């Protein structure tokens, strides 16, 4: 995987680190990293300006690969860079990096599948959704 910096990501957001996020060692608990990643994914998956879901569909995580690079400390913010690596028939692969004080603290690759909410099976992305998702493709190379 290419190395990215925060400015390389098409979607940028942040979360505030809460004291409650810390563990006994005084740094952010590893489970909270996933919450920070969710904040970034929601910017794409549930963007109110660019809806990609239909009334019969929703998204589920099929796979999450999370690499811890450094610890996150309280107090402070976490910057979240999010972009799409690949768009499939009913899925997408999202790549994210978390940063604190301009230093990478985590990298994650998540496969998201669109499902039919009633049938609980994968559901193809619409042509309009595919076009919208292209707005957030990461430029590699």
113-139 tens-digit pLDDT:
999 999 999 999 999 999 999 999 998
72, 28 contact by CB (below 8 A): yes
pTM: 0.94
Confidence band (pLDDT; 50, 70, 90) for 71? very high
Res 2: pLDDT: 58
Query: Can you tell me the distance from the alpha carbon of 27 to that of 8, in angstroms, rounded to the nearest whole number?
Result: 27
- Could you tell me the fold of the domain covering 6-136? Thiol Ester Dehydrase; Chain A (3.10.129)
Res 141: pLDDT: 64
Summary mean pLDDT of the chain:
94
Domain map of the chain by residue range? 6-136
48-57, 74-83, 98-107: the lowest-pLDDT one: 48-57
């Amino acid at each position: 995987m290419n190395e990215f910096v925060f400015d390389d990501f098409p979607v940028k957001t942040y979360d505030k680190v809460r004291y409650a996020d810390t563990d006994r060692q005084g740094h952010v608990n590893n489970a909270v990293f996933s919450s920070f990643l969710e904040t970034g994914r929601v910017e794409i998956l549930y963007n109110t300006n660019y809806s990609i879901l239909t009334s019969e569909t929703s998204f589920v995580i099929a796979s999450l690969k999370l690499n811890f690079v450094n610890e996150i400390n309280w107090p402070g913010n976490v910057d979240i860079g999010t972009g799409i690596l690949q768009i499939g028939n009913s899925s997408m692969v999202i790549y994210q990096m978390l940063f604190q004080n301009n230093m990478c603290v985590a990298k994650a690759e998540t496969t998201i599948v669109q499902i039919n909410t009633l049938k609980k099976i994968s559901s193809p992305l619409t042509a309009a959704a595919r076009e919208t998702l292209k707005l957030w493709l990461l430029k590699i190379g």
